[in-house]
Homo-oligomer: A and B are copies of this chain.
Amino acid sequence: MSEVKDITSRDVDFAKWYTDVVKKAGLVEYSSVKGSMIICPYGYAIWENMQKILDAKFKETGHENVQMPMFIPESLLNVEKEHVEGFAPEVAWVTYGGSEKLEERLCVRPTSEVLFCDYYKKIIKSYRDLPKLYNQWCTIVRWEKTTRPFLRSREILWQEGHTMHATEEEAIKETLRMLHVYEDFQRNGLAIPVLVGKKTEKEKFAGAVASYSLEAMMYDGVALQNGTSHYFGQGFAKAFGIQFLDQDNKLKTPYQTSWGVTTRMIGALIMVHGDDRGLVLPPNIAPVKAILIPIGNDEEVQDAVDTLSRSLDEVGIPYKVDLSNKTPGFKFADAEVKGYPVRIEIGKRDLANEEVTVVRRDTLEKMKMPVGDVVSSLNSLFSNIQQNLYDRALKRRDSMIYEANNWDEFKEIATTKPGFIKANWCGDEACEAKIKDEFSMKSRCLIEDEEIHTDCVVCGKKAKYRLYFGRQY
């Protein structure tokens, strides 16, 4: 059980617990390259599952994958003013090619808006060329000072959708459509409940007209922005001079969107579902859904493992057999650290009753099960685990969302309770900034579906909006 002993309790030191889990579960290894991590096979397999599900969804909704250059010449980054101001301070600059100093320095892409615009300018001429629905899977670089695996890293694996449309209406529809693709994936794939809404002007993406985000709450009540979808309007298109000849024979400027999710979602998986024994993976995203643990070397045990393995192969459930020469106790603990949704213990004693022991990772509940029924029971067990993880996360999150009607209430909650605060706001950035300065809480997103019935929680003036506030990763 030594692996488990080494995990700090999440209620004692959540940050330490997190880094213990990413390391012990074999998701990440630190590298000699400062600020960069190595994604180990198990961590990368989770990312591959995310990619597979999302990529299929992107293609289903008509998007095509492309690959842009990795470098952006400084002059190209400078074309859109707000955008360059937002990103220039945190990019890595290439200044030499071999032994030659470059005439113009290049940054390693922190995001690819300007590269896509450079491309769109070449290929969009007529309304017949629209819409352009593109996506890119790649690595981006942001020169962060302090880094944490998956959450804040100098290199980020992500996808970025970039689309161009003939009308504003169509572009806004696309922005919201992809936001909901993400929401659906987070709910049904990751079993993570997310608050979905528009960002304030202050918090929106550099260069966007409107940014929408998916805000997840971690176990410690801190927010993780787990995906964004932006409506750009015509800002970039105008800056790059992208125009098309419309059906009415007039030259028009197209409307743009962009949307992205990153390996940060792996961080969210850990911090929403994990516990003191390690990772807990929702079956719909787990690279290994069941771990088979033979207890002892008896022939009947090996036969039962072989039979079960064949049945799992047949139905296509991804599984692993722990054939190491460790003790059963160690193997159980290792299976728990890795967060495999289901563990199947196959021992001589159980087999004498034609049974095996099945253990759910989410509840740690142990069940004796007739050996012949195991494989056919698994899919409904996986659904059950998936649903339970979602429900549990939802219940916990909702229990940590508070309402504040005035400054004193806000202060009381912000200083004593982890979680999010719902509050009314006048719309003045100074009020939003005051909450950030006093409590390190940023606005998460606007709440559109609730009535505004009190005054601004900061200044007391008439409120125009309701907002979620929360500290963030």
Binding site for B on A (CB under 8 A): 29, 31-34, 36-41, 44-45, 47-48, 64-73, 76, 88-99, 105-106, 108, 115, 118-119, 122-123, 128, 134, 138-139, 141, 143, 154-155, 157, 324
Contact = CB atoms under 8 A, between A and B. Distances in A.
A65 B92 contact: no
Given A31-B68, A119-B29, A91 B98 contact: yes
Nearest to A37: B69
Question: Most B CB atoms within 10 A — which of A38, A95, A128?
Answer: A38
Given A44-B67, A71-B155, 19 more contacts: A31-B115, A33-B72, A34-B73, A36-B71, A38-B69, A38-B119, A39-B67, A41-B65, A41-B66, A44-B64, A44-B66, A45-B65, A70-B155, A90-B98, A92-B97, A93-B95, A94-B94, A94-B95, A108-B108
A115 B138 CA distance: 19
What secondary structure prevails in chain A residues at the interface with B? mixed
Contacts of A91: 97-98
B99 A92 contact: no
Task: List the 9 closest pairs (A to B, CB-CB), nearest first.
Answer: A36-B69, A41-B64, A97-B143, A93-B96, A39-B67, A33-B69, A95-B95, A92-B94, A98-B143
A322 to B, nearest CB: 13
Contact of A98 (B89, B119, B123): B89
Contact of A92 (B33, B88, B89, B96): B96
Contacts of A88: 98
A31 B139 contact: no
A108 to B, nearest CB: 7
A129 B34 CA distance: 26
Contacts of A29: 119, 122-123
A29 to B, nearest CB: 6
30 contacts: A29-B119, A29-B123, A31-B68, A31-B69, A31-B115, A33-B71, A33-B73, A33-B106, A36-B69, A36-B71, A37-B69, A38-B66, A38-B68, A38-B119, A44-B64, A44-B65, A45-B64, A70-B108, A71-B154, A88-B98, A91-B98, A92-B94, A92-B97, A93-B94, A93-B97, A95-B95, A95-B96, A96-B105, A98-B143, A128-B324
A356 to B, nearest CB: 27
Question: Most B CB atoms within 10 A — which of A48, A94, A106?
Answer: A94
A391 B157 CA distance: 41
Nearest to A133: B41
Contacts of A98: 88-91, 143
A157 B66 CA distance: 12
A143 B95 CA distance: 12
Contacts of A90: 98
Nearest to A26: B123
A152 to B, nearest CB: 14
A56 B345 CA distance: 30
A216 to B, nearest CB: 23
B38 A76 contact: no
Contacts of A73: 32-34
